Amino acid sequence: MLLNHLTPDCVIPSLKAGSKKQVLQELARKAADLTGQDESVIFDVLLERERLGTTGIGHGIAIPHGKIPALDRVYGVFARLERPIDFDSIDEQPVDLVFLLLAPSDCGADHLKALAKVSRLLRDRMLCEKMRGSTGADAIFALMNQVEDRTAA
Protein backbone atom coordinates (compact mmCIF):
# COMPACT_ATOMS: atom_id res chain seq x y z
CA MET A 1 0.00 0.00 0.00
CA LEU A 2 1.16 3.49 -0.86
CA LEU A 3 0.64 4.89 2.61
CA ASN A 4 2.61 2.15 4.41
CA HIS A 5 5.59 4.46 4.73
CA LEU A 6 3.66 7.68 5.31
CA THR A 7 3.04 9.14 8.75
CA PRO A 8 1.39 12.37 9.88
CA ASP A 9 4.95 13.80 9.86
CA CYS A 10 4.78 13.52 6.05
CA VAL A 11 1.84 15.97 5.94
CA ILE A 12 2.19 19.75 5.85
CA PRO A 13 -1.32 20.97 6.69
CA SER A 14 -0.87 24.65 5.84
CA LEU A 15 2.11 25.43 3.63
CA LYS A 16 2.80 29.12 3.11
CA ALA A 17 4.24 29.77 -0.33
CA GLY A 18 3.78 32.44 -2.97
CA SER A 19 5.15 30.59 -5.98
CA LYS A 20 5.72 27.18 -7.49
CA LYS A 21 9.43 27.49 -6.76
CA GLN A 22 8.76 28.22 -3.08
CA VAL A 23 6.43 25.21 -2.85
CA LEU A 24 9.13 22.97 -4.33
CA GLN A 25 11.74 24.45 -1.96
CA GLU A 26 9.56 23.78 1.09
CA LEU A 27 8.75 20.25 -0.08
CA ALA A 28 12.46 19.60 -0.68
CA ARG A 29 13.22 20.84 2.84
CA LYS A 30 10.61 18.52 4.37
CA ALA A 31 11.72 15.58 2.19
CA ALA A 32 15.34 16.16 3.22
CA ASP A 33 14.31 15.88 6.88
CA LEU A 34 12.43 12.65 6.18
CA THR A 35 14.96 10.99 3.89
CA GLY A 36 18.30 12.24 5.21
CA GLN A 37 19.16 13.39 1.68
CA ASP A 38 20.52 16.80 0.73
CA GLU A 39 17.78 19.41 0.31
CA SER A 40 19.46 21.04 -2.69
CA VAL A 41 19.74 17.69 -4.51
CA ILE A 42 16.02 17.05 -3.99
CA PHE A 43 15.14 20.59 -5.09
CA ASP A 44 17.27 20.27 -8.24
CA VAL A 45 15.59 16.96 -9.14
CA LEU A 46 12.15 18.54 -8.72
CA LEU A 47 13.07 21.59 -10.80
CA GLU A 48 14.50 19.39 -13.55
CA ARG A 49 11.29 17.36 -13.66
CA GLU A 50 9.19 20.54 -13.88
CA ARG A 51 11.31 21.68 -16.84
CA LEU A 52 10.15 18.56 -18.71
CA GLY A 53 6.52 19.56 -18.17
CA THR A 54 4.28 20.62 -15.36
CA THR A 55 3.26 18.18 -12.66
CA GLY A 56 0.12 20.24 -12.07
CA ILE A 57 -2.48 17.68 -13.16
CA GLY A 58 -5.55 19.90 -12.83
CA HIS A 59 -8.38 20.46 -10.36
CA GLY A 60 -6.01 22.22 -7.93
CA ILE A 61 -3.65 19.25 -7.66
CA ALA A 62 0.07 18.79 -8.39
CA ILE A 63 2.20 15.66 -8.05
CA PRO A 64 5.85 16.73 -8.29
CA HIS A 65 8.12 13.71 -8.39
CA GLY A 66 11.63 12.55 -9.07
CA LYS A 67 14.26 9.92 -8.51
CA ILE A 68 17.12 10.18 -6.02
CA PRO A 69 19.85 7.50 -6.34
CA ALA A 70 20.57 7.16 -2.60
CA LEU A 71 16.97 6.52 -1.50
CA ASP A 72 16.08 3.08 -0.15
CA ARG A 73 12.34 3.27 -0.90
CA VAL A 74 9.57 5.52 -2.19
CA TYR A 75 8.87 8.58 -0.01
CA GLY A 76 5.87 10.88 -0.06
CA VAL A 77 5.08 14.31 1.34
CA PHE A 78 1.61 15.85 1.15
CA ALA A 79 0.99 19.59 1.49
CA ARG A 80 -2.18 21.62 1.62
CA LEU A 81 -1.27 25.14 0.57
CA GLU A 82 -2.50 28.03 2.64
CA ARG A 83 -3.44 29.84 -0.58
CA PRO A 84 -3.68 28.42 -4.10
CA ILE A 85 -0.76 29.31 -6.37
CA ASP A 86 -0.05 29.22 -10.09
CA PHE A 87 1.65 25.91 -10.87
CA ASP A 88 1.44 26.04 -14.69
CA SER A 89 -1.22 23.32 -14.40
CA ILE A 90 -2.65 21.66 -17.47
CA ASP A 91 -6.07 23.21 -16.76
CA GLU A 92 -4.48 26.60 -15.95
CA GLN A 93 -6.11 26.55 -12.49
CA PRO A 94 -4.15 27.35 -9.32
CA VAL A 95 -2.95 24.48 -7.11
CA ASP A 96 -3.62 24.02 -3.42
CA LEU A 97 -3.02 20.28 -2.91
CA VAL A 98 0.47 18.90 -3.60
CA PHE A 99 1.73 15.35 -3.19
CA LEU A 100 5.50 14.96 -3.61
CA LEU A 101 6.84 11.53 -4.52
CA LEU A 102 10.52 10.59 -4.43
CA ALA A 103 11.84 7.20 -5.44
CA PRO A 104 15.19 5.43 -5.73
CA SER A 105 16.72 5.61 -9.21
CA ASP A 106 16.61 1.84 -9.58
CA CYS A 107 13.03 1.26 -8.40
CA GLY A 108 11.63 0.70 -11.88
CA ALA A 109 7.87 0.14 -11.94
CA ASP A 110 7.38 0.96 -8.24
CA HIS A 111 7.79 4.66 -9.03
CA LEU A 112 5.10 4.50 -11.73
CA LYS A 113 2.79 2.43 -9.51
CA ALA A 114 3.15 5.00 -6.72
CA LEU A 115 2.39 7.86 -9.15
CA ALA A 116 -0.69 6.03 -10.41
CA LYS A 117 -1.86 5.34 -6.85
CA VAL A 118 -1.47 8.99 -5.81
CA SER A 119 -3.24 10.13 -8.96
CA ARG A 120 -6.17 7.79 -8.25
CA LEU A 121 -6.28 8.91 -4.62
CA LEU A 122 -6.40 12.59 -5.57
CA ARG A 123 -9.04 12.06 -8.26
CA ASP A 124 -11.50 11.50 -5.41
CA ARG A 125 -13.21 14.92 -5.40
CA MET A 126 -14.85 14.33 -2.01
CA LEU A 127 -11.50 13.44 -0.44
CA CYS A 128 -9.89 16.57 -1.88
CA GLU A 129 -12.67 18.78 -0.55
CA LYS A 130 -12.38 17.21 2.90
CA MET A 131 -8.58 17.71 2.85
CA ARG A 132 -9.07 21.33 1.81
CA GLY A 133 -11.31 21.80 4.84
CA SER A 134 -8.95 20.08 7.30
CA THR A 135 -6.41 22.06 9.28
CA GLY A 136 -4.33 19.40 10.99
CA ALA A 137 -1.79 16.88 9.73
CA ASP A 138 -3.44 14.05 11.68
CA ALA A 139 -6.86 14.78 10.15
CA ILE A 140 -5.51 14.95 6.59
CA PHE A 141 -3.49 11.77 7.13
CA ALA A 142 -6.57 9.98 8.49
CA LEU A 143 -8.61 11.03 5.43
CA MET A 144 -5.98 9.64 3.06
CA ASN A 145 -5.86 6.37 5.00
CA GLN A 146 -9.67 6.02 4.94
CA VAL A 147 -9.70 6.25 1.17
CA GLU A 148 -6.66 3.98 0.86
CA ASP A 149 -8.35 1.35 3.06
CA ARG A 150 -11.61 1.62 1.12
CA THR A 151 -9.94 1.24 -2.28
CA ALA A 152 -7.78 -1.67 -1.11
CA ALA A 153 -10.78 -3.71 0.04
φ/ψ of 63, rounded to 5, equals -130, 75
Asked whether the beta carbons of 110 and 98 are under 8 A apart, the reply is: no
Distance between CA 19 and CA 74 in Å, rounded?
A: 26
Look at residue 138 and give its three-state secondary structure: helix
The answer to whether 59 is a known catalytic residue is no
DSSP string, 111-132: HHHHHHHHHHHHT-HHHHHHHH
Other residues' Cβ atoms within 10 Å of the Cβ of residue 80: 20
Distance between CA 99 and CA 123 in Å, rounded?
A: 12
Catalytic (active-site) positions: 65
